[in-house]
């Protein structure tokens, strides 16, 4: 049974010391994770990689495919060993310490293992495809690789909600006729065709609430966390759903795919330039040496890091568009405020985070800004 709408409040209380501490520790983990990733790749690309060539010949001979697989396995395992303790501390220890997790240790480990079993072969296949184009695609290999990236993105977009997500979460059709009718009315006239509305069983792992519009084409569906369905009133769920519809109305998915194609092409072009200008000078045998894989990953990581604030700013802009759409589509300002107050409490969200960290890390606006939006929309 859904909870009733809370009494709407225009003001959100300042974060408690507990919420501030949780937010600070999670942000510290995120920043430390970024630093460890970049430092690890710097060491691998500038110090370890150039010295690896002789060992690779001893291990696997002259077959460059086997050398590439060996390099990927070696550095992949090394980076995982560096990141695993921090991921465990941030994703398991902290979540339990602040009473936000229902996940068992065995559950956390099994989910991680499933990630390896799925991501390992998929990542290796993509890597082999990338290097096939690098070795045989000529000077424009990076454009061919961008086309391949687009194809993979579209295929995975179709498969994600149907095959991949159910491997990690239980997903069942929503069986609430009244709520389904409400949601269908909100989607009417928007051109949004959805395969169905589903209950995403998050409560087995977390007390946090979430929702998403997932999938492409005929696989597109709405996913509502059971924590959201059980803790929010129908009017509040309508507002959350209308927000997800807003992503479709504003064509955010298409825009993000097009942007990712441009950024991928730029990033791979930079890889080509850096490999050709510096690989031999750094000690690699050739610009396309498999041992230079860490250099490829370093260039892409630094490029992504430089773009991260701008990409997050764009994401926050899109979220504001969707919040505005939800307010105007539903006309339920009280339910909007109540929903975000609940989200702030359930997710222990700091309504007033450090502006620099918002600029750097946040892909959604802080809760207080989202609540203040209601007043601006209603007065416009």
Q: Cα–Cα distance between 376 and 188 in angstroms, integer?
A: 26
pLDDT in the model for residue 7: 46
Q: Residue 231 falls within a domain, yes or no?
A: no
Q: Residue 261 falls within a domain, yes or no?
A: yes
pLDDT in the model for residue 310: 97
- Give the burial class of 345: count Cβ atoms within 10 A of its Cβ; 0-12 exposed, 13-18 middle, 19 or more buried: middle
What domain range is 318 assigned to? 17-169+249-379
- pLDDT mean over 290-316: 96
Q: Residue 307 falls within a domain, yes or no?
A: yes
CA distances from 201 to 127, 183, 233, 245 (A): 33, 19, 18, 21
Q: Cα–Cα distance between 291 and 189 in angstroms, integer?
A: 54
- pLDDT mean over 159-170: 92
- pLDDT mean over 251-273: 95
Q: Residue 358 falls within a domain, yes or no?
A: yes
Name the residue among 373, 89, 146 with its Cα closest to residue 272. 146
pLDDT in the model for residue 380: 66
- Inter-residue contact 245 to 190 (CB < 8 Å): yes
Mean of per-residue pLDDT scores for the chain: 92
pLDDT in the model for residue 322: 96
Residues 6+ apart with CB under 8 A from 315: 363, 364
What confidence tier does 375 reach under pLDDT thresholds 50, 70, 90?
A: confident
Report pLDDT digits (tens) over 231-248: 999 999 999 999 999 998
- pLDDT mean over 124-152: 96
Q: Cα–Cα distance between 144 and 140 in angstroms, integer?
A: 7
Number of domains in the chain: 1
Name the residue among 154, 157, 131 with its Cα closest to residue 144. 131
Name the residue among 29, 40, 129, 108 with its Cα closest to residue 76. 40
> In 10 A of CB 293, how many CB atoms?
23
CA distances from 203 to 161, 208, 224, 226, 244 (A): 18, 8, 12, 7, 21
- pLDDT mean over 205-211: 93
pLDDT greater than 80 at residue 305: yes
Q: Residue 209 falls within a domain, yes or no?
A: no
Residue indicated by tokens 């077959």? 63
Residue indicated by tokens 């110090």? 47
Q: Residue 263 falls within a domain, yes or no?
A: yes
Q: Residue 77 falls within a domain, yes or no?
A: yes
pLDDT in the model for residue 60: 85
pTM over 0.85: yes
pLDDT greater than 60 at residue 2: no
- Inter-residue contact 298 to 50 (CB < 8 Å): no
Q: Residue 372 falls within a domain, yes or no?
A: yes
pLDDT in the model for residue 9: 44
pLDDT in the model for residue 245: 92
């Amino acid at each position: 049974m859904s909870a009733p709408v809370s009494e709407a409040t225009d003001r959100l209380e300042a974060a408690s010391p507990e919420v501030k501490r949780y937010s600070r520790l999670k942000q510290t983990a995120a920043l430390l994770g970024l630093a460890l990733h970049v430092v690890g790749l710097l060491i691998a690309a500038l110090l370890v990689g150039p010295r690896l060539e002789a060992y690779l010949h001893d291990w696997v001979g002259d077959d460059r495919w086997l050398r590439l697989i060996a390099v990927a396995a070696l550095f992949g395992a090394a980076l995982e060993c560096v990141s695993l303790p921090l991921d465990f501390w941030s994703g398991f220890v902290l979540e339990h310490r602040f009473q936000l997790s229902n996940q068992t240790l065995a559950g956390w480990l099994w989910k991680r293992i499933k990630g390896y079993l799925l991501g390992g072969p998929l990542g290796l296949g993509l890597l082999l495809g990338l290097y096939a184009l690098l070795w045989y695609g000529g000077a424009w290999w990076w454009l061919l690789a961008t086309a391949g990236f687009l194809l993979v993105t579209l295929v995975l977009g179709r498969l994600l909600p149907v095959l991949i997500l159910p491997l990690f979460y239980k997903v069942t059709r929503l069986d609430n006729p009244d709520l389904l009718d409400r949601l269908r009315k909100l989607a009417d006239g928007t051109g949004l065709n959805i395969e169905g509305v589903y209950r995403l069983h998050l409560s087995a792992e977390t007390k946090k609430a979430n929702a998403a519009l997932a999938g492409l084409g005929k696989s597109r569906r709405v996913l509502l966390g059971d924590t959201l369905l059980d803790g929010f009133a129908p009017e509040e769920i309508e507002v959350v759903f209308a927000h997800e519809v807003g992503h479709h109305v504003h064509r955010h998915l298409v825009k993000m795919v097009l942007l990712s194609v441009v950024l991928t092409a730029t990033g791979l072009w930079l890889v080509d330039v850096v490999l050709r200008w510096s690989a031999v000078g750094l000690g690699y045998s050739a610009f396309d040496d498999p041992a230079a894989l860490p250099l490829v990953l370093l260039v892409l990581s630094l490029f992504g890091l430089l773009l991260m604030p701008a990409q997050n700013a764009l994401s926050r802009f899109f979220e504001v568009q969707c919040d505005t759409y939800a307010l105007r589509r539903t006309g339920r300002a009280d339910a909007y405020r109540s929903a975000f107050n609940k989200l702030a409490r359930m997710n222990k969200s700091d309504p007033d985070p450090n502006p620099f960290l918002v600029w750097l890390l946040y892909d959604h606006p802080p809760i207080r800004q989202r609540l203040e939006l209601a007043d601006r929309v209603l007065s416009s």
